[in-house]
Structure 1
Amino acid sequence: MSSLERIVQDELAEAVEIRVRGRVQGVGFRPTVWRYARQLGLGGEVLNDGDGVLVRARGEHAVVKMLIDRIVSDPPPLSRIDAIQMQPYAGALPDEFVIANSEQGTAHTEVSPDAAVCADCARESTDPFARRFRYPFTNCTNCGPRLSIVDGIPYDRAKTTMAPFTMCAECAREYRDPSDRRFHAEPVACHVCGPRAKLIRLDGRPFTFEQFSMLDDVDAACSLIQKGEIVAIKGLGGYQIACDATRSDTVAQLRKLKRRDGKPFALMARDTAIIRRYCSLDEQEAAELTSAVAPIVLLRADGSERLPDEVAPGLQTLGFMLPTTPLHLLLLRRMDRPMVMTSGNLSNEPQVTDDEELRERLGGIASFALTHDRRIANRVDDSVVRIVRGRPRLLRRARGYAPATLPLPQGFEAAPDLLALGGELKATFCLIKDGAAVPSQHQGDLEDVSTSDDYVKNLSLYASLFQHVPTALVVDMHPEYLSSKLGRAAAVDSAVPLIEIQHHHAHVASCLAENRYPLGAPPVLGIVLDGLGWGDDGALWGGEFLLADYCGYERLGTFKPVAMLGGAQAAREPWRNLYAHLMAEMNWSEFTMNFRELEVYAYLEAKPRNMLDAMVRNGINAPLASSCGRLFDAVAAAIGVCRDIQSYEGEAAARLEALVDEDLLLNEDEALAYPLTIPNLRGSGPPYIEPLAMWHAVLGDLILKTPASVIATRFHKGLSKAIVAMTRKLAGGSDGTERKFATAALTGGCFQNRILFEEVARRLERDHFGVLSQAQVPANDAGLALGQAAIAAAHLIESNKNTREGNKPCVSAFPGGS
């Protein structure tokens, strides 16, 4: 339970009013309180209102305290209590404890995330003697759809996509019975009255069910998949595409049809026993898989059995999840091997949610579709988690997490309501409402028109769900980000103030906010490693060491700025970064003299070098970027990994990480790690990480025909050592003076590389630095919106405070402040 606050009177009145705030509506909170109160013999009532749940109870002091203790220690599974407050109550109360009608008011409570099928509903769905045997939409207050079916507030059946389905008498009885776990479960349904699954062909050809051995349409879809067919599945927050993951020909065909050249496919298995055949699975990973969120969990692919390389090309991890709905559970009932369960879309497009688009957008991929007649109101992707250094860390925050709130740190109690619009890739937005942050689900890349349209739709949805009217709009300072352009236009239209935030400062603030780092606490060293972002000097940044708090930052160090040949094209074609890095360290004559025997020399010699050199010389479409991500691309290209093109963002770095030999990482002599030095930029520039010596070592190892795994390992270790050396240099204190900072915040997409993150964190802690990192929001650009919101809130809080006190407006303490 996060941030639990109790205000308890010394002397209780005979009757008390208990206010419970947090995620307490639509999760079975009232019937749970009702049951506890009746068991304890208390009189009174429990009801929903605009601030959460109100409990009014009459009884002895000790018994009321027992009620509170039970509420706190054993709340409903999907709830989260943020605060409990208690005061005397003078009104009349019934002798027998009841659930009272809700009071209307401004909404200050959370809309619940979608939850995976619970154990009770799973048993019912597979019990031949249960009323809901093989019903694909079984749910209760402890599981089932929430955000994906919501059209508006208040959250009741009439404002969801269950509205067209009139409850039968038996479901209505369960819905009205406080002792039943389906009490006020808005999606409650059964075979008689609820949605129905249907198997259809997408290619227009006729078929008969007699050709399948089947119990129903869901079972027939399983038979098709077992026979090698590709089937579209209407999931909780969008269509998915499924096939047998053990059939290399089918998986390869799916890649071709989906235009997904290299990005790994997500997998779904019936149970953890099947997963363990392909992956090692520790206790934490098993707990994540079986949680109410049921995310995709990245696991080490080191089991006794192997899946085809086409599932996750070039990687040593597999992304597995367990069945998230009864439909998935029944689909996999007879499946003793994994299914690919990937998003229902063409590469880089959003998932299909609209049945009318099904044939047009997925008909060229899947021959069949297992669909149903409950509309998906809101697109929600599967969440992705990886256990790193003993913590589950989100790589994609979506189903099961959104739209849950995150409490803001101490000092943000007076934060005004505002809206931060995030970045352009892996886009999310974030509301500040009632002193808490509300990050949206993962939206995707806004360059895609459909994704951009969905982003705008969700902005409207969240404004409605949270009755949110921002007092300020917050954007990245990049002039061309689509999210920033949208925010700038909206600020003009609505006459709302606009606040622009530097990209890497937002990354640091996101890490601070998630870790509840207080507003007035000392600055930290933000180590921000990513692809690129717009710097306050108009250059492209991407490997930054920022002394930062919420109100400002100073750029203390950086990576060496190297030309991005072709601009954005350099992010897609790693060889461009390799050539740029080599030519930034040596001219072509030197490279020829020392390394012409290498295969990579012949490869680069065939490129249009004169044109590339002219681009750099004349500053045409070759901006300098201090990007850690592009350094990873260059090293990968040097050893032949994704040299020509990356089929998805970060592919080269992911494959380079997969090559690391962890035994060698731990046991090889530290002196063999590739050296990177730390000189200063020309003039009065900050210190930077210089890879010249590293490149000579890499090329020397290539001459010696050193295995790629050894090169990848030495690079990761050497880079980690350089990052920590830079931190020590910037902190000072070696002469006995006090360090400039005691804590480092590790953030940016490059820190989703497990090897890099673990090595840097371990070495920093060994040098007695505190380490902050991200888990509840991704370290990549999906975390930007939270950081933007925190920085803007800090500025507005300080400005309002200074205005009240007659002081000057809030000014950053750092020369590079936002």
Structure 2
Amino acid sequence: MDVRVGVRVEGVVQGVGFRPFVHGLATGLGLSGLVGNDARGVFIEVEGAPDVVGRFLEGLRTRPPRLAVVERVTTRRLDAEGRGGFAIVGSDASGERRALVSWDSATCDDCLRELRDPGDRRYRYPFINCTNCGPRFTIVRDVPYDRPYTTMAGFAMCGPCAAEYEDPADRRFHAQPVCCPSCGPALTLHPHAGDPLPAARDLLAGGAVLAVKGLGGYHLAARAASEDAVAALRSRKHREDKPFAVMVPDLAAARDLCVLSAAEEELLTGPRRPIVLARRRPDAALASGVAPGNGHIGLMLPYTPLHHLLITEPTVLTSGNVSDEPIAHRDDDALHRLAGIADAFLLHDRAIHTRTDDSVVRVFRGRTLPIRRSRGYTPEPVPIAKGRPVLACGAELKNTFCLTRDGRAFISHHIGDLENYETLRAFEEGIEHFLRLFDVKPEVIAYDPHPEYLSTKYALDQELPGVAVQHHHAHIASCLADNETDGPVIGVAFDGTGYGTDGTLWGGEFLIADLRGFERAGHLEPVPMPGGAAAIREPWRMAAAYGAPSDLPVARRPDWSTVAEMARRRINAPLTSSMGRLFDAVAAVLGVRDRINYEGQA
């Protein structure tokens, strides 16, 4: 006797081809019923013999699509209807939002084959995608993940694309960003006329700086082997020494520049496509200005069809901004802000809803360690213990915010350093988007106790109960959460600076800590920071504060004795226990750097 079962699937199950997968699984087993999206995830009704329904449920859990993450499958008995056929039904946007949004995925092998096939109607089309790849988080305006709630809403599908979208046997069955040259986004090259791609490649080859509209924002591109092109980009972007990332066309080109482990190659070629920090070969054919004085290169491979068509040799691909500003992602803003940097703009007319920088990772002892978690990872949640819904505002440098709900932590894309109005607006817009997208109603707001951080001031302006979380306790608590333990532990937190409970600047801390609190058990001996923030920009000041001998080269500065006296008398010299400032002092004594242009350089 047939049974009918209602099924609820939760996790990353929208925008990843889950409904087509369910359709194929059910019809392949001869089951009838329906599947659809709603604000909580995917709902299914399936009818057939009990053992076959059981095989269907097992398939849901064990054989989902490549980009899907099935977190929970729940079932309930329904009355059998006896009707045949299996249908994908319309989405239901009502109710409490619990659906998760997929991260943006690199172009899949099937789409790449079509991109390179002269006989395919999408041959060399820069926006080719399917249910297994393409834009997701960066184009989503709302859930459920359907085309009307994305920035593809304004592109009406042509007949052939609509046929693919409706065909259960097609790879683009219900692929929301589906498009082709007849009905989808198009490239333009400003201010040039003609075919944009060949002209853009010619500009790069000739040493120009090109602004390229990508997946999560604009990049600035320049030929990585050209000293003049890289120097021009540095000068115009006001980025003196900080390393640039380099995109290479394929893995062979990556191996020419860096010594790569198997784990690093897997990251470079995987669907997330982060920037991977890899050990540079001494003979790497790169301009000296790509990563001055650095033994590593930030490498990445193409992750959009446009990159595959544009990048033919190692190319600097850095965030489209002036230093310290957020990445540009709106066309009018990019044309205005990047006008003094780029010689030309490679544009397209698909809007980017959420700006998202490239992620940065490194491999250490075989493990992937995130340096910057953004495109390709966000908004995938991190599992945590269940508790009240929280909005955590983060600190000042390398800011991310976080929302928690139902045992999930939704960590934002990289926001940047909250030191100007533009980045603050990006921070506020990001919070508004996440609150709406994941339907979180925070009951408490967490913030760093530093009174001058813009994230702290934002938190204190909200009408929510607030909790100040000491900077270094937050570091250690995050390690506890990452390792799924509550503590207590001996936590060691070494960094630049963080506001301490005694009003001094901490940064070399030994804490006995759990998730609720801590005891400061030990720390580096506090020393003055003569000139305050100036001591961060000029590490020689920390050498003076630590009492470096006056016969060293670093002490031959005309203002050495004045600064040493400032430190001794504690004039404009707040105390710090920072390991970062100790590293600065050592770097200055050794003659590595006595001034810096970016954080951690010395």
TM-score w.r.t. the length of structure 2 is: 0.96
Q: Which runs of 4+ in 1 moved over 4 A?
A: none
Corresponding residue SS for 2:90: coil
Cα deviations by residue, 1:276-306 (Å, 9 ceiling, x for unpaired)? 1111122211111111111111111126533
* Partner SS for 1:56: strand
For 1:233-632, list aligned pairs within 5 A: 233-302=212-281, 305-332=284-311, 335=312, 337-408=313-384, 412-413=385-386, 415-490=387-462, 494=463, 496-517=464-485, 521-582=486-547, 591-592=549-550, 596=551, 598=552, 600=553, 603-632=554-583
- Look up the match of 1:710: none
Alignment pair present for 1:34 and 2:44: no
For 2:434 and 2:80, how far apart are their aligned partners in 1? Answer: 36
Residue by residue over 1:732-783, the C-alpha shift from the partner in whole angstroms, topping out at 9 and shown as x without a partner, is: xxxxxxxxxxxxxxxxxxxxxxxxxxxxxxxxxxxxxxxxxxxxxxxxxxxx
What is the alpha-carbon distance in structure 2 between the residues aligned to residue 293 and residue 219 of structure 1?
27
Q: CA deviation at 1:97?
A: 2.6
Q: 2:557 and 2:471 mapped to 1: Cα distance?
A: 37
Could you say if the C-alpha distance between residues 254 and 474 of structure 1 is closer, same or farther in structure 2, counting changes exceeding 3 Å? same
Looking at structure 2, the residues matched to 318 and 277 of structure 1 have their Cα atoms a distance apart, in angstroms, of 12
User: RMSD over aligned Cα, in angstroms?
Assistant: 1.8
Task: State the Cα distance separating 1:618 from its structure 2 match.
Answer: 3.7
- Offset of 1:208 from its aligned partner? 5.6
Please give the alpha-carbon distance, in whole angstroms, between the structure 1 residues aligned to 2:298 and 2:413. 19
Report the 3-state secondary structure (helix = DSSP H, G, I; strand = E; otherwise coil) of the residue aligned with 1:437: strand
Cα distance in 1 for residues equivalent to 2:507 and 2:257: 36
> Secondary structure of the residue that 1:356 maps to in structure 2?
helix
Correspondence 1:140-179 to 2 at 5 A: 140-179=130-169
Partner of 2:201: 222
Instruction: Tell me the residue number matched to 1:799.
Output: none
Greater helix content:
1
Letter in 2 for 1:38: T
1:312 offset after TM fit, Å? 0.5
Using the alignment, how far apart are the partners of 2:434 and 2:379 within structure 1? 9
1:20 matched to 2:9: yes
Decide whether the 8 Å contact of 1:16 with 1:86 is kept in 2: yes
Any idea what the Cα deviations from partners look like across 1:164-184, whole Å, max 9, x if unmatched? 211111111222223222222
Q: Which amino acid aligns with 1:87?
A: R
Tell me which of the two structures has the higher relative contact order, counting C-alpha pairs closer than 8 angstroms and 6 or more residues apart: 1
Write the distance in 2 (CA, Å) between the matches of 1:339 and 1:178: 40
Structure 2: distance between partners of 1:487 and 1:67: 47
Counterpart of 1:246 in structure 2: which amino acid?
A: A
Question: Which whole-Å CA distance do the structure 2 matches of 1:93 and 1:162 have between them?
Answer: 38
Deviations 1:63-94 (A, max 9, x none): 23322332223211111111222333335364
User: Could you tell me how far apart the structure 2 residues matched to 1:100 and 1:303 are?
Assistant: 58
Letter of the structure 2 residue corresponding to residue 646 of structure 1: I
CA–CA distance in structure 2, aligned partners of residues 285 and 400 of structure 1:
16
Q: Distance in 2 between matches of 1:94 and 1:419?
A: 47
SS, match of residue 447 in structure 1: coil
CA contact (8 A) 1:280 1:302 kept: yes
Q: Distance in 1 between matches of 2:284 and 2:592?
A: 25
CA contact 2:547–2:564 (8 Å) conserved in 1: no
Secondary structure of 1:116's match?
Answer: coil
The residue type paired with residue 428 of structure 2 is V
Paired residue secondary structure (1:464): helix
Q: CA deviation at 1:275?
A: 0.7
Corresponding position: 1:64 with 2:53: yes
Distance 2:423 2:64 in 1: 37
Deviations 1:369-424 (A, max 9, x none): 1111122221100001111111111111111111111111xxx33x1212110111
* Cα 1:93–1:380 shift into 2, 3 Å: farther
Structure 1 residue 13, shift from structure 2 partner: 8.3
Which amino acid is the alignment partner of residue 523 of structure 2? T
Secondary structure of the residue that 1:582 maps to in structure 2?
coil
Quick check: which one's strand share is greater?
Answer: 2
Amino acid at match of 1:458: G
Give the secondary-structure state (helix, strand or coil) at the position aligned to 1:484: helix
Native 8 Å contact 1:444 1:451 kept in 2: yes
Matched, 1:139 2:107: no
**Which one-letter code corresponds to 2:346 in the other structure?**
L
In percent, how many aligned pairs have the same letter? 47
Match of 1:764 in 2: none
1:191 to 1:208, Cα distance in 2 relative to 1, 3 A: closer
Task: Report the residue type matching 2:13 in the other structure.
Answer: V
Report how many residues are paired. 601
Displacement after TM superposition at 1:566 (Å): 1.0
C-alpha separation between the residues in 2 aligned to 1:148 and 1:301? Answer: 32
Which amino acid counterpart does residue 26 of structure 1 have in structure 2?
G
Preserved CA contact (<8 Å) 2:39 2:144 = no
AA matched with 1:181 = R
Aligned-pair CA distance for 1:615: 2.5
Write the distance in 2 (CA, Å) between the matches of 1:140 and 1:541: 49
Quote the offset at 1:267 in angstroms. Answer: 0.7
Q: CA deviation at 1:576?
A: 1.0
Distance in 2 between residues matched to 1:120 and 1:441, nearest whole Å: 28
Would you say 1:634 and 2:602 are equivalent positions?
A: no
Kindly indicate whether the alpha-carbon contact (under 8 Å) linking 2:2 and 2:80 is maintained by their aligned counterparts in 1: no
Whole-angstrom distance in 2 between the partners of 1:642 and 1:64? 67
Q: Deviations over 1:623-656 (max 9, x none)?
A: 111111111111111221121x21111111xxxx
Q: Is the 8 A contact 1:13 1:89 kept in 2?
A: no
Amino acid at match of 1:352: A
Change (3 A) 1:633 1:93: farther
Is the 8 Å Cα contact of residues 13 and 88 (structure 1) preserved in structure 2? Answer: no
- Distance in 2 of aligned mates of 1:245 and 1:613: 43
Q: Give the drift of 1:582.
A: 2.5
Q: Report the Cα offset of residue 234 of structure 1.
A: 0.6
d(CA) in 2 for partners of 1:48, 1:358: 35
Report SS of the residue matched to 2:325.
Answer: coil
What amino acid is aligned across from residue 339 of structure 1 in structure 2? T
Q: Tell me the alpha carbon deviations over residues 444-492 of structure 1, each in whole angstroms, 9 at most, x when there is no partner.
A: 01102211111111111111111222111111111111101110011xx
- Equivalent-residue separation in structure 2 for 1:549 and 1:575 (angstroms): 37
2 CA distance for matches of 1:72 and 1:282? 32
Establish whether residue 46 from structure 1 lines up as the match of residue 35 from structure 2: yes
Task: Give the SS at the match of 2:8.
Answer: strand
Alignment of 1:86-235 (within 5 A): 86-90=75-79, 92=81, 94-103=83-92, 104-201=94-191, 209=194, 216-235=195-214
Residue 277 of structure 1 aligns to a residue whose secondary structure is: helix
3-state secondary structure, aligned to 2:417: coil
Q: CA deviation at 1:560?
A: 1.9
Task: Quote the Cα distance in structure 1 between the aligned partners of 2:487 and 2:149.
Answer: 46
Q: How many Å separate the matches in 1 of 2:26 and 2:356?
A: 37
Query: What is the identity, as a one-letter code, of the residue corresponding to 1:650?
Result: G
Q: Please state how far the C-alpha of 1:60 moved relative to its aligned partner.
A: 3.4
Opposite residue 484 of structure 1, the aligned amino acid is T
Choose 1 or 2 for highest CA Rg: 1
